[in-house]
Amino acid sequence: MLKGHLDIKTLSDYFLNRLSPQEETEVQEHLSSCPECTSALNAMRRLKEGFFEDDSAAPARRPVLFRIMRSGWTKAAAAVIIVAGLGIFTYETVRNRDNVIEQHQIQQGRGLENQVFAIDTFDKEDSIYYREKYGDDFLNVDSF
């Protein structure tokens, strides 16, 4: 059994698992009856635990962009934007639907008007020209 107190080198080597199994057992036998050395060893263990395991227990600090992406405020803002976007989209769709119908009706009407307009703008010379070329049916627009 080791006499006196363990020197700091032996204690450090024991702490770092650098002793042979035989030496390790001798140190353990000494620790069994030496509160001072046990206290020094436990101090190193507590220091290691406090120094490193505080950090490992807490989640590692993420990069700024990651934290912004995962923050509650970002999620809330995203939700507001999505809801507002959906609202605007729905409103615009309904409004456009009315417009589309209206436009369709206008288009339908415009087709007739154009036909009438086309006939109205024929002058006398045109009439003679088309009459000679196509006969009396030239006024029937569907035949063009």
Partner 1 sequence: MAGRLERDTLELLTKEDERYRLRRMGFFRDVRDEAALVASQFPPEEGEDFHQWKSRCLREYYRFKGFGMFCRERLLNPEFEGTVESIFKRHLRNMFETSERTDTDKYLAPDSDTVSFALEPDLFQELYTLNFSSMPSFGNTAELDRFCHQITSASFPVKEPAVVKGMQDNKNFYWEKFYLKLKPITAAFCYQMSGISGENNTHDIWSDTCISVNSAVVDRRMKEPVTAKDIISYSIGVLKNKNKEIARSRAKSPADIDTLQYKLTAEDEEKYFNNPVTKPENFPSQEKGLANYIDYTDKDSVQGYFIVILYNKEHPLHDILVKGYEDKVQKMFEHYIDGLSYEEIVARHSGAKEGREQVKECARLRQEIKRLKKSLYDRYTKMLEDYR
Binding site for partner 1 (CB under 8 A): 1, 8-9, 12-18, 20-21, 24-25, 28-29, 31-32, 38, 43-52, 55
CB of 72 to partner 1, least distance (A): 24
**CB nearer partner 1, residue 1 or residue 112:** 1
Q: CA 38, CA 21: separation in Å to the nearest integer? A: 18
Chain centroid to Cα 60, Å, comes to: 21
**CB nearer partner 1, residue 48 or residue 97:** 48
CB of 76 to partner 1, least distance (A): 28
CB of 37 to partner 1, least distance (A): 11
User: Which residues touch 138 (CB under 8 Å, ≥6 apart)?
Assistant: 130, 131
Nearest to 48 by CA among 24, 16, 11: 16
